[in-house]
Amino acid sequence: MKVLLVGGGGREHALAWKIAQSSMCQKLYCAPGNPGTAQVGENLPVRAEDVDAVVAAARDRGVELVVVGPEDPLAAGLADAVRAAGMLCFGPSTEGARLEADKAFAKELMRSASIPTAEARIFTDLEAARQYVLSRDQGVVVKAAGLAKGKGVFVCTEPHLAVRPLEQIMSERIFGDAGSTVVIEEMLTGQEASILALCDGRNIYPLEASQDHKPIGDGDTGPNTGGMGAYSPTPIVDDSVMTRVEREVLVPIVDAMRRSFGRYEGCLYAGLMLTHAGPKVLEFNCRFGDPEAQPLMMRLKSDLLEAMVATCRHRLDEVRLEWDPRPAVCVVMASGGYPGSYEKGFEITGIEEAEALGDVKVFHAGTAAADGKLLTNGGRVLGVTALGDTIAAARERAYRAVEKIHWQGAYYRKDIAAKAVEA
Ligand code: AMP
Ligand code: GLY
């Protein structure tokens, strides 16, 4: 079949790389893709957010399945438009995408389904929000309710530290309308894990667990980013945690969605804090994680396209996924300055040398090709991903690969998966 993959980041390169390996894949288009996806498919000059243009591009080329990588086009109704045009779509409806695009809605749905999550209050008025945080005596977490590219969350170890983020979000509108509503939560402590699952609206198929590293700095310091590295599997998610997450989180949320607006179809991502009182939901995303998809795709042995088609045809009960038992570690290399402002256009060298180490795949994110050269073109630039017999070996190999790659101002965390190695 002909497939159109929407998006152009590291997650999309990982998904494209895996979809292109399927014997079912006759042709893969990417809209807009990046130089990495161009190695395995054909990039189209179509913006991911341009719903009409994506649907037209797919229809004109006889595409049967559209796979949506990022959240913005899903929130804008791409999956509904693709289905209305008679094609299969891997990705939830606008309503389903609200689980990520509207944190206040997600919180209320979780409450109604008794899903364990941080206690929270929702505010649309800055003064009321300010008074609330100042009345608290413990750490709080301030979240812009709308989409903010993973940067809209401020963890404040003391209540007064929440005042400035509230002003920035609600008054200065640093995230635009995404900040017209804020969710203020109790601060949870524990280890974090990402559990992603394929969902066909009724059946749920959890993927192997992974762990992201959201803050920019080593030791989880500094502002949050889209994710600076990930690894899978993670020793903190054993069978009993997985069973609990399925029973207490995934099943009830999919049921709650079906009751309120219909089937949730696609990938459902639960970001969890494993607290002393059990797993609690930090957030839901309506898509694969980035960078979690990179180690997951490196470990997936089964045919991803077949599983996606089964999901769209509501036949997830027929799917069985096989995984490489070896762990994979992905280290994100970013532009110096990210998640703040940064320069683009620096030449990248060393990717071939990095991949020549073996069991290494360098996924492109913010890159651009020009005059036979590869240039930096975004905040997160590459996801350097390696397999190893142990997490320590995968980590060591990923960092050896990172050291082969150069551009001016390249930045990466030095401690991806370090906690898992110490554990
Ligand atoms: P989110 O985008 O909602 O997952 O938040 C981004 C990051 O902020 C998470 O990965 C956590 O590290 C942190 N975070 C979010 N909510 C909480 C919470 N209630 N308690 C502690 N940390 C949190
Ligand atoms: N890595 C976090 C996310 O994809 O939202």
For the domain made up of 125-180, give the CATH fold.
Dna Ligase; domain 1 (3.30.1490)
Phi, psi of 32 (to 5 degrees): -90, -10
Contact 398, 354 (CB under 8 A): no
Please give the structure tokens belonging to residue 163. 């005042």
Contact 92, 266 (CB under 8 A): yes
pLDDT tens digit sequence for 144-195: 999 998 789 999 999 999 999 999 999 999 999 999 999 999 999 999 999 9
pLDDT tens digit sequence for 268-321: 999 999 999 999 999 999 999 999 999 999 999 999 999 999 999 999 999 999
Tell how far the Cα of 260 is from the centroid of ligand 1, in angstroms: 26
Position 423 confidence tier, pLDDT thresholds 50, 70, 90: low
State residue 376's pLDDT score. Answer: 98
State residue 416's pLDDT score. Answer: 98
Which amino acid residue places its CA nearest to atom 16 of ligand 1? 282
For the domain made up of 2-91, give the CATH fold.
Rossmann fold (3.40.50)
pLDDT at 323 over 90: yes
Burial environment of residue 163 by CB neighbours within 10 A (0 to 12, 13 to 18, 19 or more): middle
Instruction: Say what angle helices 251-260 and 94-101 make with each other, to 10 degrees.
Output: 130
Which amino acid residue places its CA nearest to atom 5 of ligand 2? 289
Ligand 1 residue neighbourhood (C-beta within 6 Å):
118, 141, 143, 150, 153, 155, 185, 187-188, 192, 214, 224, 271, 282-283
State residue 151's pLDDT score. Answer: 83
**Which of these, 22, 28, 88, lies nearest to 302 by C-alpha position?**
22
**pTM of the predicted model as reported, rounded to 2 decimal places:** 0.96
pLDDT tens digit sequence for 30-51: 999 999 999 999 999 999 999 9
- In the chain, CATH 3.30.470.20 covers 191-318
pLDDT at 90 over 80: yes
Alpha carbons 186 and 277: distance in angstroms, whole number: 14
For the domain made up of 328-422, give the CATH fold.
Glycinamide Ribonucleotide Synthetase; Chain A, domain 4 (3.90.600)
Question: Read out DSSP for 59-111?
Answer: HHTT-SEEEE-SHHHHHTTHHHHHHHTT-EEES--HHHHHHHH-HHHHHHHHH
Cβ of residue 283 lying under 6 Å from some atom of ligand 2 = no
Distance from chain centroid for Cα 361: 18
* Ligand (nearest to CA of 148): 1
* Ligand (nearest to CA of 267): 2
Alpha carbons 294 and 330: distance in angstroms, whole number: 7
- In the chain, CATH 3.30.1490 covers 125-180
CATH of domain 191-318: 3.30.470.20
The per-residue pLDDT of the chain, averaged, comes to: 96
Cβ of residue 252 lying under 6 Å from some atom of ligand 2 = no
* Residues 382-387, mean pLDDT to the nearest whole number: 98
- In the chain, CATH 3.90.600.10 covers 328-422
- In the chain, CATH 3.40.50.20 covers 2-91
* Ligand (nearest to CA of 107): 1
Cβ of residue 212 lying under 6 Å from some atom of ligand 2 = yes
